[in-house]
Structure 1
């Protein structure tokens, strides 16, 4: 498997079947969102002849993310993320079906906006659940590449969704556009239902300090504490919020630039948006590599400057071609920023707190985008268009320099951490047990394992006990005993350095099937059960040495359990 595609590439990421279903769901639902936005705006403008209702619908779509975004993150962390996404898609389909009925019946605009608000509310768990599910569906060293592919799909949907919405409005009645959107959300639910269960595990010190609470309020508070306590997360969130503030301003300023500064009108606005999209598509193949490994912080800071710089430069430009080139560069920066920010957050927040942190970020980002949209015309009126462009880009550039040192320290610390773990990682990699594991996965195992000195005669694990860890023998000689009926407390195996034990219960869910006793003084590496399970999940399939070993050992002690092991997680 690993020989066919180099890890961390698009080809390698594409091989994860369950993630491909998630990608299909993201593609369909994102295109549906854009289709819905265009259809809603055009219909309200034509039916009411009032821009106020268009604005009310736009606020109605964003406001739920401001208020309910953090709660959506809690929901994504509390339940199986596949079910969360399926439920969100089904509820969105129902809402869009209701909108289609209201449009068909020529219902009041206020009823339409009310359903829009409900649709926004039920959508809030989807994005946190999707972002938190991706690390469970791909290898860790394919994570940046998977995020890059998702970024490409998002850029394509930016073009396809509005175009499809415009075509449907031109060729059919408005109600059919909303019915098509409802069908798209239904199809998205079908795709995401195929990803299988996305199990939630509370792992590491964060899980011990912030266990799942009975009340949503407590989970929200814990999510904020996780964001504050995890190095680099607040810096990442600040930069993302500033980027969304800039984006909110830019949505308004592009209209002024096309009309007043470039003199190109609506046609020029289309070319400006197209330049951004083409830049994003052009930068995506490089974004995954730039955001991977120990360069993620650097990529995020650099892309923040690359996002803000063209806007500042645009304040001095009156030539349309130069403006399109600057926006192309901004599009490149945008895709790198998006992929680096998502990848960094997914790697910093380990365990099941990721949904809550993403939910908090979504809420803050929605507030920032709304603020930017409101402030932009005020600055143009009070000062000038060039001043507004300079402010939009300058805020992000300044933010990149302010939080940059914190993010760059993450890269430095990551390189030092990897160097320190290298001997343990190399030892783990030499075991057939982990021959499919990514190096970053082995690094997590190496971080979590504890080296334990074992005295001769010590019972390391006892038959019948709960399985909470697995062990790798580094030094010493160990014997395995089973008091299963067929063996009457017989020695069934002997192990030395390089062997492992304790994995059967972690993979199968059985209690300990044998007792392991040290025949001599020795040393073992103890790997916590949750950490081992996460490593196996990240490896996508269980290794052949692992499955053969489990089956062979069960044949010795519990033949009735020795069924073929499912190699897919």
Structure 2
């Protein structure tokens, strides 16, 4: 019965249910707010540039929050960080719902909301392994991946539908309500835990070379995620290149999220050892289908390739997140996970921007294939560096993989079997 429960097993834990539902509310509210802001600003300015700027302000400042404020999740009780940040975001979102608010104030509020998401994500990711420890942790990551992707899609689709009958200000008010409900759920459903204070001895021990090597490997794996998002950024010109109609763009864009959901489900069903070798093998496997795009296959084969890439990239990311929990002491887990989530986020933006520039000269199919090839080579390089034996072993030799680095080697696939860094949790 436990085996069959798989993906849903973590829902048996009361604290996880509170965290999970609170996060779904926040994600859906965020997507609704983005749609409402875009409509509001365009209605008031008729400027595509200012509309794009407003949308960017809902994402970009989170980089600042992730790097500078993630440490709050280690200095203060994590439940308190979640409740306070959500309460602050509810207040800011409510201010944004005021009709006639000057655009500079609206933009400042959007930026503050984005900054506050940094410590919230760090505290949530660091708290998760305490709420669902052991074997249920990868399952919890997989479930969050599946439902998080679904909540984003529902937020965008539902936001567009709601704005047909609601004013943007009302939609922004609903976003404030989601933050408030999230804070109440966490406060009522998650028990208090003291701050993850570190002793001087722990801090000294943590500074060893072995730990630094582990973290460098994990950061390198996370930074590769942007390569798997390149197809989404080039979906429209790629579809045009293979002769697909506008509906083909939508099908291609849906392929990776659907593959990601399948990958997360498989991670929950198949137990893989959390090691850099397995993660690198899955990462390499995620790049192989993208290489096929250089042949400019038809729409159906392209959809299958993009979905397969989503399966393996999600699997390796979950593997990596699981390893973070194993490698990082609890008193630094919030900081590391928050910064890792920021690296993941930045890698996607940078990769899509560079891919767009390259596609102008080389064409979208070739650029997507190049991204896949680079993913394979990068994963192989990371894996080889980790499995290469060091003379006399090393302080982190137990962390070093002994698996083959070939795709599907050992057992098989999936996204970050470390004990979690999720949101690293999800590809954005």
TM-score by length of 2: 0.83
Residue 375 of structure 2: which of 388, 392, 396 is its match?
Answer: 396
* Larger Cα-atom Rg: 1
Please show how residues 11-160 of structure 1 align to structure 2 within 5 Å: 12-101=9-98, 104-105=99-100, 107-160=101-154
1:325 and 2:304 are equivalent in the alignment: yes
Measured after TM superposition, the shift of residue 368 of structure 1 is 2.3
Taking the aligned partners of 1:51 and 1:299, their CA distance within structure 2 comes to 44
| 1:183-209 deviation line (CA, Å, top 9, x unaligned) | 111111122212111333446897241
| 1:191-241 deviation line (CA, Å, top 9, x unaligned) | 22121113334468972417xxxxxxxxxxx9xx68983442211111211
| 1:329-358 deviation line (CA, Å, top 9, x unaligned) | 122123313321221212211221011112
Q: Give the 3-state SS of the residue equivalent to 1:199 in structure 2.
A: coil
Measured after TM superposition, the shift of residue 14 of structure 1 is 2.6
Taking the aligned partners of 1:262 and 1:94, their CA distance within structure 2 comes to 48
Taking the aligned partners of 2:376 and 2:184, their CA distance within structure 1 comes to 42
Tell which deviates more after alignment, 145-154 or 275-284: 275-284
Taking the aligned partners of 1:300 and 1:117, their CA distance within structure 2 comes to 34
Residue 242 of structure 1: which of 221, 224, 231 is its match?
Answer: 224
| 1:50-104 deviation line (CA, Å, top 9, x unaligned) | 2212331233233323223122211111111111111111122222222221xx2
Paired residue for 2:202?
Answer: 207
8 Å contact kept, 1:227–1:233:
no
8 Å contact kept, 2:71–2:334:
yes
Residue 291 of structure 2: which of 312, 320, 339 is its match?
Answer: 312
Over 3 Å counting, the alpha-carbon distance change for 1:127 and 1:276 in structure 2 is: same
Q: Give the 3-state SS of the residue equivalent to 2:61 in structure 1.
A: helix
1:277 and 2:257 are equivalent in the alignment: yes
Residue 339 of structure 2: which of 360, 363, 366 is its match?
Answer: 360
Structure with greater helix share of residues: 2
1:264 and 2:240 are equivalent in the alignment: no
Taking the aligned partners of 2:383 and 2:2, their CA distance within structure 1 comes to 34
Taking the aligned partners of 1:12 and 1:246, their CA distance within structure 2 comes to 29
Q: Give the 3-state SS of the residue equivalent to 1:63 in structure 2.
A: coil
8 Å contact kept, 1:245–1:365:
no
Measured after TM superposition, the shift of residue 47 of structure 1 is 3.6
| 1:92-120 deviation line (CA, Å, top 9, x unaligned) | 2222222221xx22x44333222111111
Q: What residue ranges of structure 1 are gaps of 5+ in the alignment? A: 211-221, 418-439, 442-569
Over 3 Å counting, the alpha-carbon distance change for 1:229 and 1:125 in structure 2 is: same
Residue 177 of structure 1: which of 160, 163, 171 is its match?
Answer: 171
Paired residue for 1:252?
Answer: 233
Residue 160 of structure 2: which of 145, 155, 166 is its match?
Answer: 166
Q: Give the 3-state SS of the residue equivalent to 1:232 in structure 2.
A: helix
1:373 and 2:352 are equivalent in the alignment: yes
Paired residue for 1:413?
Answer: 398
Measured after TM superposition, the shift of residue 180 of structure 1 is 1.4
Taking the aligned partners of 2:137 and 2:356, their CA distance within structure 1 comes to 39
Paired residue for 1:186?
Answer: 180
TM-score by length of 1: 0.64
Over 3 Å counting, the alpha-carbon distance change for 1:329 and 1:209 in structure 2 is: same
| 1:504-536 deviation line (CA, Å, top 9, x unaligned) | xxxxxxxxxxxxxxxxxxxxxxxxxxxxxxxxx
Structure with greater strand share of residues: 1
Paired residue for 1:340?
Answer: 319
Q: Give the 3-state SS of the residue equivalent to 2:284 in structure 1.
A: helix
Taking the aligned partners of 1:46 and 1:59, their CA distance within structure 2 comes to 17
8 Å contact kept, 1:230–1:349:
no
8 Å contact kept, 1:77–1:352:
yes
Paired residue for 1:503?
Answer: none
Measured after TM superposition, the shift of residue 137 of structure 1 is 0.7
Q: CA RMSD in A?
A: 3.1
Q: What residue ranges of structure 2 are gaps of 5+ in the alignment? A: 390-395, 403-417, 420-428
Taking the aligned partners of 2:186 and 2:257, their CA distance within structure 1 comes to 26
Taking the aligned partners of 1:391 and 1:407, their CA distance within structure 2 comes to 24
Over 3 Å counting, the alpha-carbon distance change for 1:258 and 1:90 in structure 2 is: farther
Taking the aligned partners of 1:359 and 1:57, their CA distance within structure 2 comes to 24
8 Å contact kept, 1:155–1:277:
yes
Taking the aligned partners of 1:376 and 1:45, their CA distance within structure 2 comes to 28
Between 1 and 2, higher relative CO (CA 8 Å, sep ≥ 6) is seen in: 2
Taking the aligned partners of 1:147 and 1:382, their CA distance within structure 2 comes to 39
Taking the aligned partners of 2:157 and 2:129, their CA distance within structure 1 comes to 32
Measured after TM superposition, the shift of residue 383 of structure 1 is 2.5
Measured after TM superposition, the shift of residue 307 of structure 1 is 2.8
8 Å contact kept, 2:257–2:310:
yes
Taking the aligned partners of 2:33 and 2:375, their CA distance within structure 1 comes to 30
